[in-house]
Amino acid sequence: MKADELKSILIESGATVVGVGDISPALKGDIMHLKRAVSIGVKRNLNAVTVKQLIMLQKKAESYLRQKGYRFLSIPPDSDRRNGKFISRLYGLFCHKTAATCAGLGWIGKNGLLINREYGPRLSWATVLTDAPFEPDEPVVVSGCKDCDLCVKYCPSGAISGVEWSRSEPFPLLVDYKKCDEFKKTRRRFEKKPNCGVCINICPYGRQKL
């Protein structure tokens, strides 16, 4: 079964990238039956509109799958996880970045972010797991960062180790999140800037040419 119809619905509705990943090797327990991940990426504006758009797209995917009689489990964007729902306990079972690499939409960069060849780390993600037997896209299995270490060099907290991700080594220690957090906290105190974002802005993939 091809996923083309669902993909074009989502692209027409404003998704920047859409892919379908075979996630069966990574599944266990209660979500064993949901063997495909529909990964949806939207260009990030770092504001509420991006999140709203992702939720809208997620709902489009849900109603498409519901109509066809398939099961699904939506993993909402990270900034829209309401606790207190029964299902929110399961959101942690599968992460957007893994789904996106399985769906061939990018690799996990040295900065720990999902890097898309065209848009770099400038996408926000939502994921819909499903039992629809879609033909999966070709997964990305190695990092495309190679020799580039701009984010490693310029990270103001020195938190990025410079190790490269690959599918066979999926959880190396890429970023020391403690250092990153500490830095942001201090900075917030002095500059009132809520975030840092150097590792996003410096990434040459998808950076707009001036």
Partner 1 sequence: MLTEEKKREILDRLKNGVIQYDEDAVREAAQEAVEFGMDANEAIFEGLVSGMEEVGRLFEEQEYFVPELLMCADALYAGLDILKPHVKKMDLGVKGSVVIGTVEGDVHDIGKNIVKMMFDVAGFTVYDLGRDVPLDKFVEEQLRTDSDLVCLSAMMTTTMVGMQKVIEKLKQKNPDVKIMIGGAPVSKELADKWGADGYAPDANNALKEAINMISSLRKMRQEAEANRIEGR
Q: In the complex, which residues of this chain contact partner 1 (CB under 8 A)? A: 30-34, 59, 66, 71, 73, 85-87, 89-90
Least separation in angstroms between CB 61 and partner 1: 13
Name the H helices within the chain.
4-12, 48-67, 96-102, 150-154, 177-191, 198-201
Closer CB to partner 1, 89 or 189, in the complex: 89
Nearest to partner 1 of 86, 190 (CB atom): 86
Q: Which is nearer to partner 1, 75 or 155 (CB)?
A: 75
Nearer to partner 1, 99 or 113 (CB): 99
Query: How crowded is residue 53: how many other Cβ atoms within 10 Å of its Cβ?
Result: 21
Q: How far is the CB of 10 from partner 1 (least distance, A)?
A: 18
Angstrom distance (rounded) from CA 81 to CA 87? 10
**Please, what is the minimum distance in Å from the beta carbon of residue 37 to partner 1?**
14
**Residue 81 CB, nearest distance to partner 1 (Å)?**
13
Six-digit token string for 192: 């009132």
Q: Is 40 exposed, middle or buried (0-12, 13-18, 19+ CB in 10 A)?
A: buried
